[in-house]
Amino acid sequence: MKYLLVVLLFFVFFVNGFSQEKNVLVLHSYHQGLEWTDSISEGIKEKLGDYTNIKVYYEYLDTKRNYTKKYYDKLIELYKEKVYTINFDLIITADNAAFEFVINHGDSIFKDIPIIFCGVNNFDEYDISKVPIIAGVKEKVNIRSDFEAVMKMFPKRNKVYIVLDNTLTGQKLYKEIEPEIKVYKKYLDIYFIRDFVIEDLMEKISKLDDNSSVIFLLTLNRDKTGKFLSYKEAVEKISSVAKIPIFGAWDFYLKKGIIGGSLISGKIQGEKAAQISLRYLLYNEFPDRLILDTTTKYYFDYNKLKEFNVKYTPKNSIIINKPQKFKVNIKYLVYTLVVLVVSVGYLEIRVKQKEKAKKILKLEVEKRTKELEHLNAKLIKMATIDELTNIFNRRKVLGELQRLINKKSKFCIAIIDIDDFKQINDIYGHAIGDYVLKKLGEVLGQYTDEFIIPGRIGGEEFLIIFPDKNLEESKYILEDIRLKVKKINYGNYKSVTFSAGIIDVMDYEKDKILSKIDTLLYLAKNKGKDKIIDESLI
């Protein structure tokens, strides 16, 4: 009886701990409606929106349009009152102004409140000793990748004009990219356009019409007269007068006139910050690596590539606005034509009424076509798809692994095993066990097309391949999967967990790869389950 009481008290404490409401302040540097700001909010909402016990408050410092000392003094008084009224468990800051505001006033306003940051340039310059707990995502423009792209896409264009305003963001970006500029001045003539009036800037850009120049648009939110422009207005004004290619650094410039570049996503910044926040709010833990770097990807606009007759784009580039190609199944076309010719000849001989023969032929062709399509789809599914989980079966996923090995591709691979699955079957029955497997398959299926190649290799074991991903990116996706799987409930209040081993593939021998991740999986089980183990943790 005594032990039962202890268990019940623990259960009540456990449930209340997870159901207790948490208050999160998201403090944006800029204003609502700015594309960058809204995209960060979108990423945060996507990760935190499903948790009813987490209440998120969004605040905006509006420092793109208001930046005087008098304004900042009023902000200090305002947030002293707001933080006094609401007990915040966590602060997420977006961009430098909000980050500086919090760490500069940590003692007087935000005392002892943990901070998660994103969108911060030149993070290493800050003194964070006043902040007790801090983690987040640094923002770094990948200008090296952009310069490399310019030199390969436009080998005859050696002049780069960088548009960069004098806002706080602009100042931080200049310091950040200055070392890279010094390196690439050996290969390119690089000019900064910084101290400008909007009208004069547009006139200057309109005159850059030679075949030796490109524009690199970083930030253009405020000119030296204080006039404010949104990102959309800025890029549209520049592109309306520019006769040369425009490269950019952020994904919200796409589809507004730039040719592309190695772009940063505000949504991904927000997602990563929210992911770290969840681990703290739910489990009171931060990741092993507290400071994450921004990830960028090459994006290019097909219409602009065509306009400037570009034949080369960097490897793994994503091309938007690309026209759809119409694919013809030659074998099916030949088969249909043969059936059509034979059937018409036969029916013309046998049937006197020509119109009746055509109707019969049409119905027959449609019927046979549907039967063949249905049979073909059924055979493909039977050969490659696991019937219960609706993802790849063992044969197919191992075949995909062998294909990547043969190509010596860059990829990571993980093996996951549902914790205590035998107990689920024994206690709740195999119908519940099948339900758990099916729901896990649904979670994996959400990532399949864009991020992973998953397959069930036996019982409760699943193999996950992460094509073209490094270990950090793969672990981030796998951790996201782990948290979603924990939402799967069975047997009243139970949740599903899994243990996993993951490696960055360096040695292309299949047996060694599978043996290595099996060893890491076994280690995850021994360390208490519900864990992801990679080689760095051995």
Q: Mean pLDDT, 10 residues at a time, over the chain (538 residues)?
A: 48 48 94 91 92 94 89 89 86 92 84 88 81 82 90 92 90 88 91 91 88 91 88 88 91 88 89 90 75 82 93 90 74 79 77 74 72 62 88 95 93 96 91 94 88 93 95 94 90 85 93 94 94 85
Q: Which residue from 167, 168, 174, 173 is spatially nearest to 222, judged by alpha carbons? A: 167
How do beta strands 134-138 and 291-293 pair?
parallel
Q: What pLDDT is stored for residue 375 in this prediction? A: 61
Q: What is the chain's length?
A: 538
Q: Which residue from 162, 244, 237 is spatially nearest to 209, judged by alpha carbons? A: 244
Alpha carbon 520 to its chain's center = 26
Q: What pLDDT is stored for residue 460 in this prediction? A: 95
Q: What pLDDT is stored for residue 13 in this prediction? A: 42
Q: Which residue from 40, 94, 119 is spatially nearest to 293, judged by alpha carbons? A: 119
Q: What pLDDT is stored for residue 337 in this prediction? A: 81
Kindly report the pTM of this predicted structure: 0.55
Structure token pair of residue 457: 């290799």
Q: What pLDDT is stored for residue 39 in this prediction? A: 92
How far is Cα 81 from Cα 297, in angstroms, rounded to an integer?
41
Angle at CA 391, nearest 5°, toward 386 and 392? 70
Angle at CA 327, nearest 5°, toward 324 and 333? 155
Phi-psi region of 153 (alpha: psi -120 to 50; beta: other; left: phi over 0): alpha
DSSP state of 52: T
